[in-house]
Amino acid sequence: MTSKPQADPFMLELFRTELETHSRVLEEGLLKAEGEQSPERIEPLMRAAHSIKGAARMVGLNAAVALAHAMEDVLVAAQRGKLALSSGHVDRLLRANDAFAKLAKSGAPGIPAMLAQDTPAMEALAASLAEAPPEPRADAAVPLPIPPAVATPALPSTAEPVAAEDRFVRVFSDTLDRLVGLASECMVHARSVRPLVVGLNKVKRDCARLTATLEDLRAEQGGLGVEQCAGESARLLELLRRHSGEVDNFSARLELLSERLYGEAVASRMRPFSEAVRGFPRMVRDLAKETGKQVRLEIEGDATPVDRDILEKLEAPLTHLLRNSVDHGIEPPARREGLGKPAEGTLLLSARHAAGLLSIRVRDDGAGIGIEALRKKIVAGGHVPEDIACGLTEGELLEFLFLPGFSTAKALTEFSGRGVGLDVVQAMARSVGGIVRVETKDGEGTTFELQLPLTLSVVRSLLVDVHNEAYALPLARVERVLWLPLEDIDVMEDRQYCTVDGEHIGIVSARQVLQTPSADGGSGRVDLVVISDRLNRYALAVDKLLGERDLVVKPLDPRLGKIPNLSASAILEDGTAVLILDVEDLVRSIDNLLARTKPQKLAAVHDVQASSAKRILVVDDSLTVREVERRLLENTGYKVVVAVDGMDGWNTLQSAPFDLLVADVDMPRMDGIELVRRVRSTPRLSRLPVVIVSYKEQEEYRMKGLEAGANHYLSKSSFHDETFLNTVRNLIGEA
């Protein structure tokens, strides 16, 4: 008889910590949900149960997996309006959550033993949740088969001795963050000594010239006064030489020491990538067996250092990506053999540092996403009509994978189809200033790549000068820099562009984007920084490239709110403040700028005359829909400005006045309902007419839009008749 393998103590401690957090969210949320059962109230509870299930699966606690899955089923039904949570339901859910809270309060070593004793109770709880009876009458008693309480097993009083090489100490994360902050400030101040050394050397050179002049004067004229001055000058010069050398050596030693201190402080925040992937091989193995597939997980770069804060955020997105690859990507053995593939599929999880970034890839050799099937799924889900979907590119279609609630699963299973997945991946990447890329090829597989910063405390940046002000662009978001003579810049359709590797890239002035005064003239050369997001690529023209720096990130005061195009600040060695640009926001601002006005010419800047026509802001994340609305309105004589999502629309409303806002509902970063609410709560914008135009024609969505403050809620079918334009005319009159 073989003994059951013991769970990794480190993973058990992570599970216990996560369990403690999610059980607290569930308890607080369930009590509130008893009085308010809106989907927004239920969703975080569903996610918490889903996360507990995933974490329990990673450490092999099957009873906890089943109980969390049963809780998730009830919460999913409640969120979708298929079940009204009664008091009895909430009681069951709370008692189930009590079982998790009990586990969380125990020490990590005692979790398996406690769970072994509590398994019958958890199974009974899961069975009672699976029944999910309908809403009972107020006077009806709800039977609640709850097993008797199980006593908490006593924890061992002594721990197993730890090898000397594995010893570690616990440090509060706030303390470690302060240590890194102090080390970074020490490095900045140490580097600030260098300009003092430069100044002292200048004084030394001036003194040397003065001494030489006095020596010449003494040789020509002589005299006691001149003799004394020359002697004193020579003495001062020797003193300066000696002390400047000492200061120079001190500066070099201080800078080296501060950089070593800073390096060690930052290294203390770094953990090997292996700590984030310990449970994945077992998870993939079990999932493959349960789905009847053969999958081999390969892990590369497990020693790659990862920032602690980023490492803690990786579990959920990587879990979703790996599950998607096994469940959706890799085919069953018989199908693979029929396609000439090995029966066993390969799943690769890799981590490496590349170009100043942490690159994490999840790649499978499965069937691929299937672009045409995805297009049909998008249409069937009501996201866009068929005629618009047919015109979407592969990149635009793949963007739908990251929408909340979007799933390509054909059926609801324990592993997929619940609408909790890739939106979590994208949200995590964006929260740390990274991006997610996806590549797929039918029959060959799919690759998801997370490009994340190496550390959150320091960012390697490119400094640029714009109107005598220094700005920083995170180097991870800079594709390349160019120095071009003006004669190498071409013009097409009144827009300037340059050609890089055979691709035409539009040029936009940083002064125009950041709304600083225009340049008076040019030097015959232009400095360009190429930046991009998934869909757009631009060459940003700056006044001067100032070089690369490691900048200590300092968050902006939260009271300022979200400032367009900015993400944080930093201090240079000489004490100068520098603003760190938000590249993703910057690209959207450029896209918006080009949609509403002409870009400034670099050789000869032209003033843009303001139009007297009434101005309308169109906010929609679909390029095709934006273009349809823009053409309809501009053909009628209105001046139209477009924004690519809710946050971009909100930023645009801060920068210019408008006569009407036209917005979609489903958009990334900020949806249309939240945008309308913000508009109505802002005194300056509270009277702005608002029209929501959406494919969601259900009454519940129409009521949400009107309750948020929209004047009209139209379906996008109104483009095909005069309804849309008549509504615009009724609200703001003719153009």
**Which residues, 6+ apart, have CB-to-CB distance to 499 below 8 Å?**
490, 505
Fold of 458-596: OB fold (Dihydrolipoamide Acetyltransferase, E2P) (2.40.50)
Give the Å distances, CA to CA, from 18 to 3, 22, 54, 308, 343. 27, 6, 11, 16, 36
Banded model confidence at residue 341, pLDDT cuts 50, 70, 90: very high
CA–CA distance, 59 with 39 (Å, rounded to integer):
30
Q: Is the pLDDT of residue 419 over 60?
A: no
Q: Is the pLDDT of residue 660 over 90?
A: yes
**pLDDT mean over 673-698:** 88
Q: Select the more confidently predicted residue: 305 or 264.
A: 305
Other Cβ atoms within 10 Å of 282 Cβ, number: 18
User: 294-453 in CATH: which number?
Assistant: 3.30.565.10
Ranges 107-111, 470-474, 509-513, 568-572: which has the least confidence: 107-111
**pLDDT mean over 13-25:** 84
Q: Which of 230-234, 251-255, 381-385 has the highest mean pLDDT?
A: 381-385
Q: What is the pLDDT of residue 662?
A: 93
Contact between residue 54 and residue 287 where contact means Cβ atoms under 8 Å apart: no
SS3 label, residue 214 = helix
Question: Bridge-partner residues for 440, per DSSP?
Answer: 446
Q: Is the pLDDT of residue 500 over 50?
A: yes
The size of the chain, in residues, is 735
Q: What is the pLDDT of residue 521?
A: 54
Q: What is the pLDDT of residue 663?
A: 92
User: 9-151 in CATH: which number?
Assistant: 1.20.120.160
CA–CA distance, 517 with 634 (Å, rounded to integer):
29
> In terms of C-beta density within 10 A (0-12 exposed, 13-18 middle, 19 or more buried), how is residue 31 classed?
exposed
> What is the domain class of 615-732 according to CATH?
alpha beta
Banded model confidence at residue 364, pLDDT cuts 50, 70, 90: very high
Banded model confidence at residue 606, pLDDT cuts 50, 70, 90: very low
Ranges 14-18, 150-154, 509-513: which has the least confidence: 150-154
Quote the percentage of the chain above a pLDDT of 90: 13
CA atoms within 13 A on the CB side of 623: 14
Q: What is the pLDDT of residue 610?
A: 37
**pLDDT mean over 448-452:** 91
DSSP code string of 633-671:
HHHTT-EEEEESSHHHHHHHHHHS--SEEEE-SS-SSS-
Contact between residue 78 and residue 42 where contact means Cβ atoms under 8 Å apart: yes
CA–CA distance, 43 with 505 (Å, rounded to integer):
42
Banded model confidence at residue 333, pLDDT cuts 50, 70, 90: very high
Contact between residue 402 and residue 422 where contact means Cβ atoms under 8 Å apart: yes
Give the Å distances, CA to CA, from 270 to 175, 456, 656. 15, 11, 44
Q: What is the pLDDT of residue 1?
A: 38
pLDDT tens digits, 281-307: 878 888 888 889 999 899 999 899 998
Q: What is the pLDDT of residue 6?
A: 55
List the domain boundaries for the chain. 9-151, 174-268, 294-453, 458-596, 615-732
Banded model confidence at residue 128, pLDDT cuts 50, 70, 90: confident
pLDDT tens digits, 158-180: 333 334 344 555 666 677 777 77
Q: For residue 667, what are its two tokens?
A: 């958009």
Q: What is the pLDDT of residue 164?
A: 38
Q: Is the pLDDT of residue 233 over 80?
A: no
Q: What is the pLDDT of residue 418?
A: 40
Q: What is the pLDDT of residue 212?
A: 81
Residue with tokens 């490095």: 187
**pLDDT mean over 255-270:** 77
Q: Which of 454-468, 562-576, 653-667 has the highest mean pLDDT?
A: 653-667
| pTM score of the predicted model | 0.50
Statement: 174-268 belongs to CATH 1.10.10: no
SS3 label, residue 493 = coil
Q: For residue 360, what are its two tokens?
A: 């994490």
SS3 label, residue 480 = strand
**Which residues, 6+ apart, have CB-to-CB distance to 374 below 8 Å?**
397, 398, 400, 401, 408
CA–CA distance, 493 with 178 (Å, rounded to integer):
53
**pLDDT mean over 250-265:** 76
pLDDT tens digits, 61-90: 888 888 999 999 889 888 888 888 887 888
Q: What is the CA radius of gyration of the chain?
A: 32
Q: What is the pLDDT of residue 535?
A: 63
pLDDT tens digits, 387-410: 888 888 887 788 888 887 776 665
Q: What is the pLDDT of residue 268?
A: 77
The strand pair at 490-492 and 270-272 is best described as unpaired
Q: What is the pLDDT of residue 132?
A: 54
pLDDT tens digits, 504-518: 888 998 988 888 877
Q: What is the pLDDT of residue 408?
A: 63
Can you say whether the dihedral through the CA atoms of 11, 12, 17, 20 is positive or negative?
Answer: positive
**Range 105-108 contact pairs with CB under 8 angstroms and sequence separation of 24 or more:** 105/20, 106/16, 106/152, 106/155, 107/16, 107/155, 108/9, 108/12, 108/13, 108/15, 108/16
CA–CA distance, 305 with 364 (Å, rounded to integer):
24
Banded model confidence at residue 699, pLDDT cuts 50, 70, 90: confident
Q: What is the pLDDT of residue 542?
A: 92
Q: What is the pLDDT of residue 448?
A: 94
* Dihedrals phi, psi of 385, to nearest 5 degrees: -70, 165
Q: Is the pLDDT of residue 474 over 80?
A: yes
Q: How open is the CA angle 637-643-647, to the nearest 5 degrees? A: 145
Q: Is the pLDDT of residue 608 over 50?
A: no
Instruction: Return the C-alpha torsion angle 619, 420, 424, 397, nearest 10.
Output: -50
Mean pLDDT of the chain: 79
Q: Is the pLDDT of residue 702 over 80?
A: yes
Which strands make up the sheet holding 435-441, listed edge to edge? 295-300, 345-354, 357-364, 445-453, 435-441
Q: What is the pLDDT of residue 445?
A: 93
Q: Is the pLDDT of residue 734 over 80?
A: yes
Q: What is the pLDDT of residue 140?
A: 34
Banded model confidence at residue 344, pLDDT cuts 50, 70, 90: very high
Q: What is the pLDDT of residue 414?
A: 53
* Dihedrals phi, psi of 393, to nearest 5 degrees: -80, 170
Q: Which of 119-128, 183-192, 210-219 has the highest mean pLDDT?
A: 119-128
Q: Is 99 left (phi over 0), alpha (psi -120 to 50) or beta?
A: alpha
Q: What is the pLDDT of residue 182?
A: 74
